[in-house]
Structures are given as C-alpha cells and as structure tokens.
A and B are shown apart, each in its own frame.
Chain A
Amino acid sequence: MAWRPREGQDDRLCAAGKGEDMSGVRIRITVVKKLECPELAADYAVGSVWGACPHHQVGDVYEVSGEASYPKPDGLCAWAWADLHRAVTTLRYGADQRPKLPPGTMIVCCTDGRRPVVFAVERLEEGGSG
C-alpha cells in the first residue's frame, strides 16, 4: 500500500480516512485575480462580456465546511463553482499539490476564456483563520 500520511499531514484527514467525522474541515475560497482578454473578447464576446468578470471582485471570500455534499456558497458564481469543485474536494480529502504549492493550497481559475477569475482555494487549519 503506497499511501501513508505525509509529514505534517492534518490528523483530522487521516481520521476521516478511517470513516471518522470530517465535517470540521473548512475550505476557504478567495478571489485573487481577474483576467481580461480584450483581444479575444473583441472577436468572440458580445454585450456585457467585454472586460473583466462583473460577478466577482478581488478579495471576495467564501467558506465551505460541514455538510457532506458541500453546497455552493451563497454569492459564488455557479459556473465557477462547477470549475472549482474538484479542487475543493481535492483539498478536503487531504490531497494537495506540494511541493509545487504550499500544503493545502490550490490556485484555480474558472473556464470562461474571455474573462476568467482566479481563486485561491485553501484548507484552513483547525480553529484558525488559515
């Protein structure tokens, strides 16, 4: 069996692997950048989709925890949630992209190529704000 806890891996997640409660795992989603693609928008976008995405502002923060199915946080774009959900689940299950990124962190953008929004998805330390 190849799996073993990584050094420093969250104890709660190892416990969850044994079927224990993992409702305390909290994932924070922060809008960190909005990309604009004027050269693409000019060819492919109409109306209000010129320029950066109006739905989110840099600094918007959302948090998910608790319920097993992780419902979409209020206010988060449903399209973005569909694109982010795998990363959220990856972190929730204790996986991460180290050493490319710090443990518990993923940087993910939505798939709207005309004006993607970039999100930092982070697993919060127990009891802390991350």
Chain B
Amino acid sequence: MAERLKITVVRREACSDLIRRYVPHGEDPRLHTPCGRFSDGQTFVVSPCEMPQGFCSWAWADIQRHAVWVALHGVQPGHRQPGTAVVCCTDGLYPVFFRLELIDDES
C-alpha cells in the first residue's frame, strides 16, 4: 500500500480583537469571519511531499516543511500520535489550522 499525506482543516479562527486593533475599518462585521479559502473538515489526500490542488499557496508555503517532516516519517516531539502534526498558517488575523497525517492509501 502506498503512503499518502492527509491534510485536514481542523479549525479556522478570526482574531477579532486584533482585527479591530490593526485593520482599517476593523469594526466591519464582514471582516470578522474566518478564512474563506478553506472550510472546516475539508480534507486533501496527496502523494507525500506534493502540494494539494486547490490549496492556498500562502498556507502551503507556511506548512510545507511540516508536511515534508510528516511525509518522510519524522516524529515531531510533543505529538501524541507519531506520524501526525497539527500546524497552522501564519496569517495572524485569520489563521487556519491543519492536521497532517501519514496514512495508507486504501484505494
């Protein structure tokens, strides 16, 4: 069975206090919704080290090295389950959180 990297969107956040503090017109309620590039629970399954089609290129730039560590069988300290990692993109106002897992391809 081939190994695959599974990426799951596990959380999306809008940091309202920071949006009000830093973003021009930060009181506008339309600015207080999480990132629209992803949806909660969305999954991507790809060959290890491959960028998923349709993935946000900014987010991929942020998490790519973490994805490589998982894809190449690294074990990140502090994670309960070897072969997983929980990471987020670096958008401090609208961060999106991803679970990375190395899985067996069942297809």
Q: Contact check: which of B10, B18, B78, B90 meets A111 at CB < 8 Å?
A: B90
Asked if A109 contacts B80 (CB within 8 A), the reply is: no
B residues neighboring A (CB under 8 Å): 10-11, 13, 15, 17-18, 21-24, 62-63, 66, 78-81, 84-93, 95, 97-99
Which residues of the partner chain A approach B79 to less than 8 Å between Cβ atoms?
Answer: 44-46
Which residues of the partner chain B approach A101 to less than 8 Å between Cβ atoms?
Answer: 22-24
The 3 closest A-B pairs by CB, nearest first: A107-B92, A113-B86, A118-B92
Chain A interface, >50% SS class: mixed
**Which chain A residues numbered 24 to 48 have a C-beta less than 8 Å away from chain B?**
32-33, 35, 37, 39-40, 43-48
User: In whole angstroms, how far apart are the Cα atoms of A105 and B85 in the complex?
Assistant: 30
User: In whole angstroms, how far apart are the Cα atoms of A33 and B10 in the complex?
Assistant: 20
Q: Contact check: which of B13, B17, B24, B81 meets A44 at CB < 8 Å?
A: B81
Asked if A113 contacts B97 (CB within 8 A), the reply is: yes
Which residues of the partner chain B approach A32 to less than 8 Å between Cβ atoms?
Answer: 18, 21, 92
**A118-B92, A119-B92 known; A107 and B86 CB under 8 Å?**
no
**A109-B90, A116-B95 known; A40 and B11 CB under 8 Å?**
yes
**Nearest chain-B residue to A110 (Cβ)?**
B90
Q: Contact check: which of B15, B81, B87 meets A112 at CB < 8 Å?
A: B87
User: In whole angstroms, how far apart are the Cα atoms of A118 and B13 in the complex?
Assistant: 12
User: In whole angstroms, how far apart are the Cα atoms of A17 and B91 in the complex?
Assistant: 27
**Nearest chain-B residue to A47 (Cβ)?**
B78
Which residues of the partner chain B approach A45 to less than 8 Å between Cβ atoms?
Answer: 78-80, 86
**Nearest chain-B residue to A42 (Cβ)?**
B80
Which residues of the partner chain B approach A111 to less than 8 Å between Cβ atoms?
Answer: 62-63, 66, 87-90
Asked if B62 contacts A83 (CB within 8 A), the reply is: yes
**A35-B13, A87-B90, A111-B63 known; A120 and B97 CB under 8 Å?**
no
Asked if A35 contacts B95 (CB within 8 A), the reply is: yes
Which residues of the partner chain B approach A105 to less than 8 Å between Cβ atoms?
Answer: 22
